[in-house]
Amino acid sequence: MRKRPFIMVAPNGARRGKADHPALPLTIPEIVTCARDCHAAGAGALHLHVRDGQGQHSLDPGLYAEALADLAETVPDLPVQITTEAAGIYDVAAQYDCLTTLRPAWASIAVRETARDPDLAPKLYAACAEQGTRVQHILYDADDIALLADWQARSIVQPGQDAVLFVLGRYATGQVSAPADLAPFRAALPDVTDWMVCAFGPAEHACLLAAANAGGACRVGFENSLTRGDGTPHANNAASVSDLMRQLEKAVQ
């Protein structure tokens, strides 16, 4: 590894709550504090999920706007990527409305979710291009990669919308990933240059080290894993970022 890779932190996700880990941030003040601490620990960007008053996953543009404003005030140097994850709650129209109402600088979009509405998919990507929203495609397997390639060939996905996130372990038994899980993604997209990896389960950091060694960026945090490789829980998201940073620094030396 020649240099430290880019690190994004994903501190909460759409499904976990305080019962999973008491330090998992749910409210906007908690998310802002977590973002500040993770940035200080070495995170270069934040993957943002917001929750409603009941702690449930939300794509409410108003909640997003509030969170983005508070984050910009507290950690102005930390780029923020919003999620458009459906989480079994939202259809593509709701995802499209979130993107076009909020007009965020950066958003993640799962191609398999957008494919639920083939007629709206071209409009969604065109809207992102028109309003300057940077897109990162969420890819879970080779079928998702094939779908993305088809959409690129048919100009559904716009020029410049090339960034991808490889998700390791999301649909594996027990949602447990391994470094070897990266190989099929890299084989299917050998020429991609803007790529990132996240990984589920206790081998999260091992997978991210493998990605960094191959030239990829890393997404770390409680959305994907709560523990070290030995199963010991991280104290919080910043501790996970710090632990990954230490491992990366050793790899760079």
Judge whether residue 171 has pLDDT over 90: no
Pick the CATH number of 7-252 from 3.20.20.70, 3.40.190.10, 3.40.640.10, 3.40.50.300: 3.20.20.70
Mapped onto helix, strand or coil, the DSSP state of residue 37 is helix
- Amino acid sitting at position 120: L
Whether the model clears a pTM of 0.75, i.e. scores above it, the answer is: yes
Task: Please work out, in degrees rounded to the nearest 5, the angle formed at the alpha carbon of residue 70 by the alpha carbons of 86 and 62.
Answer: 45
Over the stretch 117-141, which tens digit does the pLDDT of each residue have?
A: 999 999 999 999 999 999 999 999 9
Six token digits for residue 120: 């709206």
Over the stretch 63-112, which tens digit does the pLDDT of each residue have?
A: 999 999 999 999 999 999 999 999 999 999 999 999 999 999 999 999 99
Of 39, 127, 40, 119, residue with least CA distance to 78: 39
* pLDDT score of 170: 87
The pLDDT of 14-18, averaged and rounded, is 96
Over the stretch 173-192, which tens digit does the pLDDT of each residue have?
A: 888 999 999 999 999 999 99
Residues 118, 77: Cα–Cα separation, whole Å: 37
Residues 177, 5: Cα–Cα separation, whole Å: 20
First-to-last C-alpha distance (Å) of the chain: 9
